[in-house]
Structure 1
């Protein structure tokens, strides 16, 4: 290794590595720790204390090893009681056998990992003559010169203050080997000294990193999040780059922050092999999980996240989705622990038992703010949330929507208590109608303030016994509920069909809460076009003659208001059974259409018919949000009988086909033909390979001069390429061909 040190002359730097790599750097002076009264770390005057020449069990082959060297079940070796001075600072292991070196090692203090390190490999790690050589010079023998008689060493530095009296609470855990040949130890020591806190640091993780060669730095990140956790200490941050991480992680008792760069693009996938994130070793409130999607976990309890054993983490800005539990808590499981959950989405999780979204077990204390719990399913009860005895849940500014269960589509509780403020409960379902929104039993209680609770029928709130209670004030409860300030009213949500539950500016729930607060989770904020209606009649008729082509038909609708942006409108039209096409966009609330436009637009694809039905629809648009006009599409029957009528002296005397105009053309041209009598007619357009491109079949066409307009598309409506085309006209034995050129 090396030190990069940019300080100037006379700067003193202290080497705590134990490798005695003293050197002058930019004129600085290396001073050992014992030479400085301010230094802390290993006591160089205290000899390493030998624990065992061979840690029992590690070399006994009493383990199952996978082909990649990982152990199916880790090997644990408990420390003996040790007499020493001060704190345990380092743990040193030796392995002689070059083909059986251990790899990933940990020291555990109870369930908490207090040291993590990697023993060097045969190919790159090197060796030392003996322990003294290692302590003075490190692994000074090159890897190529190592053999079975030159031992390898490695050191784990404890990240927690543990004095020698607690030594027998520690254990060495072996997670893997460098090869599938096994694991061999030949010595273990501890060194004492004075433990000192260090400033927090950052461990970096990236899908482009490596757990073999990475060191957790920004330039050499680890590849797995668990590796970053293993090498971190309390107050550290594990910074995770965007990407997909297929693993199951455990905080291992460390009070650290594990932070993804973006909760949409930073994904931890549990690969259906257990809980995705485990926090169950007493982690405190400085522990943070932030910026991830947690998905695809399957466990008996807590498919996505499991929090237990007095832990108290913060979960912020996380998506917990598509996880499953066999018993409790498809999304998140909290038991005998606390949790603060904010700005989090818990959605589309499943439980074969209770609590599709979030479970609170005995002694759980959970706070949920500014979050959404939606579309979760529980087989028995509590589609969104279920709690049991001695639990306390506090929810604020949170949406509970479209969850389902046998009992308690939204909430269910036995013995537990809820305090909820400014929540919106809507669209949840109990398949037995026992509390579509809320199910309470066995002294369970809920107190609601400034909230909205809605459901599909009268059993929105179901109290199974007299000991359970629900009370609400300044709230809107479906079908009403006794309590100060409660109302029954249409909330005027922005858009129920799109699950947008902010309120329009004229909602009676704005300012209807206690002390003028709003009701519900979101308040005012409909950044979407407001519903609007037709003014035009549902059915109209337009009769086209040669003298009224400049007349106007006006399509009209009411204004769609928006609280924050500008609204524009798009008009769509369909002729007959054809698909709708956009024909106009505007910021006004009407669209004038001339009869000439009707004549050209309605009959372009049907040149020989005398009447057509045109349907109109309008959509209001603001940004990415759209809303269609209320009511059925408007119908306009367009007739051109009179326009097409021809006097006797104008009837042609012969069948005829004329050259198209214009020719060459792009993109449309008109083909004219004469019929001296009523007849069926057929016009077919071919490419130069003789393949049919477009067919116009016209039946019972009246005598006269007629036109067909071709827009350079085939029978499927697809544009055709530039080139020469032939068209053939047939009517009552008359056949004639012409040539035309399409330019592009």
Structure 2
């Protein structure tokens, strides 16, 4: 079946009181509902996008549980402040094939001894994570992430500020997992940032404590303000332009949406390095960057790159496609630009909480991104 869940908040779910083991907010599972490790896997075309999953609880998968299915995709999600007793405070992927893109997993926890994956647990699965932040989660093992008996591919992932009471503060992996981490940052987790075996291959990443692999570094990434949840990079971060665009080593760039000489390490591409270091240097291509902070209340900043002079329009829309605010509509010179939005409409009235779209039109270039206003 085709399933799509999008554009709202899921909160207050309790899987135990509902008679389920997993999925306090969302449960995607095999039709037989059997809680078995090696049972049959059911194909499912399930899309989850533009959701806030918060304050839910379960025995396993406090926010979201994906169990014995193949095909779910998660994109543009915020999974925060959910609780699990044993596995996956925020997200659990068990005996499944799943894709996770542009997702924030923050402030989740597993609250019993011998628990795994405060933010995310991946077990007996194939999972791809891209542009994911895993921050301030807690568990006994793998405070940020726990991966077991799986093939996990992590690209542009930031794992920071997580805590394990036993081991694997940021990232924990068993010897039976074949993990690939590229262009990622694992930093400032407790008691250690990473506890993994040699079957984990890491390259072009910033790993606290060090890790053998091409392009890896062990240097403070210089987050903008990690204490307040801002894991973007400062202008002099060693992670800027330190990643690779050629993920499979075939000499062809697999990543093309980056600024500078090469992609950055971590979940957030630094979009205005040249403007900070050299105000006279111009961007090489058009770009509209993710707003920061996101979610926000009530002010956020939108950054964009103009490689040439031209007429620029930046417009805010609600989820129904109705125009909310026309932020910019004028001729602008080339350069690295930014504009703030204070969550008001064209009449200066405050808008309600929810998902909004922001679009730039500059000549023939057009790009749209999403942001979430919380109140």
Give the shorter-chain TM-score range. 0.5 to 0.7
CA distance in 2: counterparts of 1:476 and 1:623, whole angstroms: 31
Secondary structure of the corresponding residue to residue 502 of structure 1: strand
Deviation, 1:371, is 1.0
> Residue 263 of structure 2 aligns with which residue?
517
Structure 2-normalised TM-score? 0.61
CA distance in 2: counterparts of 1:308 and 1:456, whole angstroms: 32
> Residue 436 of structure 1 aligns with which residue?
169
> Residue 420 of structure 1 aligns with which residue?
154
- Matched-pair contact (CA < 8 Å) for 1:525–1:563: no
- Matched-pair contact (CA < 8 Å) for 1:402–1:427: yes
Deviation, 1:512, is 0.6
CA distance in 2: counterparts of 1:439 and 1:429, whole angstroms: 11
1:335 aligned to which of 55, 67, 81? 67
Q: Pick closer, same or farther for the CA change 1:564–1:334 going to 2, 3 Å.
A: closer
> Residue 291 of structure 1 aligns with which residue?
7
Q: Does 1:382 align with 2:117?
A: yes
Deviation, 1:517, is 1.3
Q: Does 1:494 align with 2:224?
A: yes
Deviation, 1:457, is 5.0
> Residue 350 of structure 2 aligns with which residue?
none
Instruction: Map 1:601-640; keep pairs closer than 5 Å.
Output: none
CA distance in 2: counterparts of 1:481 and 1:398, whole angstroms: 20
Deviation, 1:456, is 3.6
Deviation, 1:455, is 2.8
CA distance in 2: counterparts of 1:381 and 1:526, whole angstroms: 38
Give a deviation string over 1:608-660, Cα, whole Å, max 9, x none: xxxxxxxxxxxxxx9699xxxxxxxxxxxxxxxxxxxxxxxxxxxxxxxxxxx
CA distance in 2: counterparts of 1:329 and 1:496, whole angstroms: 26
- Matched-pair contact (CA < 8 Å) for 1:294–1:321: yes
Greater helix content: 1
> Residue 455 of structure 1 aligns with which residue?
188
> Residue 85 of structure 2 aligns with which residue?
352
> Residue 57 of structure 2 aligns with which residue?
324
Structure of higher RCO (CA pairs closer than 8 Å, 6+ residues apart):
2
Q: Does 1:480 align with 2:210?
A: yes
Secondary structure of the corresponding residue to residue 497 of structure 1: helix
Q: Pick closer, same or farther for the CA change 1:488–1:441 going to 2, 3 Å.
A: closer
- Matched-pair contact (CA < 8 Å) for 1:526–1:563: no
Deviation, 1:316, is 0.5
Secondary structure of the corresponding residue to residue 227 of structure 2: helix
Instruction: Map 1:540-555; keep pairs closer than 5 Å.
Output: none
- Matched-pair contact (CA < 8 Å) for 1:504–1:526: no
CA distance in 1: counterparts of 2:172 and 2:53, whole angstroms: 24
Rg larger in structure? 1
Greater strand content: 2
> Residue 137 of structure 2 aligns with which residue?
403
- Matched-pair contact (CA < 8 Å) for 1:502–1:525: no
- Matched-pair contact (CA < 8 Å) for 1:458–1:479: no
Q: Pick closer, same or farther for the CA change 1:494–1:307 going to 2, 3 Å.
A: same
CA distance in 1: counterparts of 2:128 and 2:151, whole angstroms: 9
Instruction: Map 1:195-214; keep pairs closer than 5 Å.
Output: none
Deviation, 1:312, is 2.5
CA distance in 2: counterparts of 1:458 and 1:484, whole angstroms: 25
- Matched-pair contact (CA < 8 Å) for 2:159–2:170: yes
CA distance in 1: counterparts of 2:302 and 2:147, whole angstroms: 40
- Matched-pair contact (CA < 8 Å) for 1:408–1:430: yes
2:236 aligned to which of 485, 501, 506? 506
- Matched-pair contact (CA < 8 Å) for 1:396–1:420: yes
- Matched-pair contact (CA < 8 Å) for 1:426–1:455: yes
CA distance in 2: counterparts of 1:564 and 1:295, whole angstroms: 31
Deviation, 1:489, is 2.1
Give a deviation string over 1:387-430, Cα, whole Å, max 9, x none: 222x0110001101001000000111221221000011100100
- Matched-pair contact (CA < 8 Å) for 2:165–2:191: no
- Matched-pair contact (CA < 8 Å) for 2:170–2:189: no
CA distance in 2: counterparts of 1:430 and 1:514, whole angstroms: 30
- Matched-pair contact (CA < 8 Å) for 2:163–2:190: no
Give a deviation string over 1:452-491, Cα, whole Å, max 9, x none: 011345632123xx6x632210110012111000112222
Secondary structure of the corresponding residue to residue 370 of structure 1: strand
- Matched-pair contact (CA < 8 Å) for 2:263–2:269: no
Give a deviation string over 1:563-599, Cα, whole Å, max 9, x none: 979xxxxxxxxxxxxxxxxxxxxxxxxxxxxxxxxxx
Deviation, 1:322, is 0.5
Unaligned residue ranges in structure 1 (runs of 5+): 1-282, 531-561, 566-621, 626-744
Deviation, 1:504, is 2.3
Deviation, 1:523, is 1.4
Q: Pick closer, same or farther for the CA change 1:344–1:457 going to 2, 3 Å.
A: closer
> Residue 305 of structure 1 aligns with which residue?
26
CA distance in 2: counterparts of 1:307 and 1:522, whole angstroms: 29
Instruction: Map 1:657-672; keep pairs closer than 5 Å.
Output: none
CA distance in 2: counterparts of 1:402 and 1:496, whole angstroms: 10
CA distance in 2: counterparts of 1:414 and 1:407, whole angstroms: 12
Q: Pick closer, same or farther for the CA change 1:458–1:321 going to 2, 3 Å.
A: closer
